[in-house]
Chain A
């Protein structure tokens, strides 16, 4: 692999892992959501994100070898490249909806730029995924407003969720070790630009939901760093596949 291919393979793994882990967290609500409609909606969102993870894993495997199943079920926590935002436990409904909203807004900001990627397969995936994401963004955005402007308790839960989640959003825009190589090659956008587009979406929306934006986070984490929550998530997610590694599905 060339230097660019190595950097791109790492980036694709990060994109895929974010989607996979978030999909798993959301799937934990299946059968437990507050109302039936939302149970269905979140299961759909989780399934969409899983589909997107698959597309990114396939692009990764085209460059670096391997299969999506091996990557999902037979890696240890330290080998995952997802941000900590998506591995945190699902929390309450406000936490889940706000996390998904913040992530959806990031995805839309990123995908808008990735559709122009110099790596054609990535540009094609971005164009494919973008319209599906619009449904998520609209849905979770409505929940942020509904709870932010709802009762005293719903507002309080949303603000608490925002206070907890906000510091973790910085990692979405932290450049990877080889990010510069990809930006120079026109393959991925500069993270600072994505952040600006993201902030232009979420800041006015959160304010309109009567939520106070916490002070700007300064924590920068590498994508190889994880909380203990990821280990527990993987133990559950990977248990079936690992109980019979040779099984055919």
Chain B
């Protein structure tokens, strides 16, 4: 018997920082907009389980875009992007999400992101408090330690390196089928994209001196980190949460650094009470 998902994909043209992008996104459900942003070096497929979860989509309009240069969102046609190294900036990342939300008519969405997108969550609360009702950061840290990036885009190191690196970022109990699927997605990015995303994650992300300025009476802030995360440990996120008055921190047992797609049933245990709280606010 043929099976169809209710999740559908569309393309939309939006202008961000004076350049037009053709952006691919998938969506399902109705109600409060839930804007789901993928990690560095991957794409919106990471959200496929959340997009297809009836318990979530019955109350939330779940929308998952591919950032420009990721997944099915191609580089723009109007610039010679191939003449310079791809680099994601915090400024572009924030502007993209706000413009994308406006274009789709998402009214004060709930934002959720993992890894680099999780790190952006507090920035959205800080810099765009009128555009979001709540932010949920998965694997969020105060600031990242700068690391050498050259090996992340190297002519003699294939994308299998990126996939292999992700293996041990996930919890040992992660179902192997989802662990392998996650690795597959990381291996499919254009080789320079993960390194380019790390420009934000490892170089620009720094909430020191800023986190305490976030007003959670305007935007609710939830920070969730997996027990097995070696990049952003639960203790790292707990320290950040302490600096944001009113932020809620939850340690997620049985998950690692890629909690958005490792094991959605485990993620749901932690996510559902938060989505219920937001819906009933």
The reply to whether chain A is a binding partner of chain B is no
Report which A residues bind B (CB closer than 8 A). none
